[in-house]
Structure 1
Amino acid sequence: MTEKIFLTKTETLLPQIGRSVSIGSKKLALFQLSDGRITAIEDFCPLTGGPVLEGTVSGEYLYEPLRDYKISLIDGRIQDPDEGQLKVYELLQEDGNIYLKGTAL
């Protein structure tokens, strides 16, 4: 059986709008892409030191709100010419609920 941590209900997400979820001291940003996929990344940009939650989503990318860095919501990689990586979290969706898969934060 896969370990999982409840994050939120699917119905609470709006397409292309971030939703903050906290697990202990860790903050995650959940996003529902325009094609319906749901992704989760850490809500912290290593380049600006600020949150990414309120960035603009376009396709599979998030434009970081302070400096407009382009971040992949699929693998967390900050796109060229900038460099960096945000942690991406694996999710499970069951019966209208979204769970963090496993326990590694």
Structure 2
Amino acid sequence: MAPFERWFDICELSDIPVRGSRRLEKDGMKIAIFRTSDDRVFAVENRCAHKGGPLSEGIVHDCAVTCPLHNWVYDLSTGKAQGGDEGQIRTFPAEVRDGGRVHLRLATAS
């Protein structure tokens, strides 16, 4: 069967620290959900494109995260590496709904 996209209710916004993250595993994917200082949420694959570092342990600043292993910086909205680094991480649509609930859209098997 072909996969289809579906929204999942993940957690309360308050469950994610400001300028921090929350990790989850869904359908075999390891995902990091980040909260910025202005309460926007972003979801990315929890793996740096450079050496596989855990991005969920990185430093969140503005709309970016810095990998804790080798300081690669990724734009959380596009997944693209910043500065002189080249690479990209997978991103997933995420938003805050229903009075503060974080939702994540993923492709799932039907």
Indicate the TM-score class for this superposition, using the shorter chain for normalisation. Answer: 0.7 to 0.9
Q: Is 1:21 matched up with 2:24?
A: yes
Identity fraction in percent:
27
Counterpart residue number, 1:6: 9
CA gap of 1:102–1:69, structure 2 versus 1, over 3 A, is closer
Q: Is 1:73 matched up with 2:71?
A: no
Unpaired segments of 5 or more residues in structure 2?
Answer: none
TM-score w.r.t. the length of structure 1 is: 0.88
Counterpart residue number, 1:99: 103
Paired with 1:3 and 1:20, the residues of 2 have a C-alpha distance of 19
Paired with 1:25 and 1:80, the residues of 2 have a C-alpha distance of 31
- Structure 1 residue 6: deviation in Å? 2.2
Q: Deviations over 1:22-43 (max 9, x none)?
A: 1021011111101111111110
Paired with 2:53 and 2:67, the residues of 1 have a C-alpha distance of 9
Partner of 1:35, secondary structure, is coil
Q: Is 1:32 matched up with 2:35?
A: yes
Aligned partner of 1:101: which letter? R
RMSD: 1.6
CA gap of 1:84–1:65, structure 2 versus 1, over 3 A, is same
Report if aligned partners of 1:54, 1:65 keep a CA contact under 8 Å in 2: yes
Aligned residues: 103
Structure 1 or 2: larger strand share?
Answer: 2
Paired with 2:83 and 2:97, the residues of 1 have a C-alpha distance of 35
TM-score w.r.t. the length of structure 2 is: 0.84
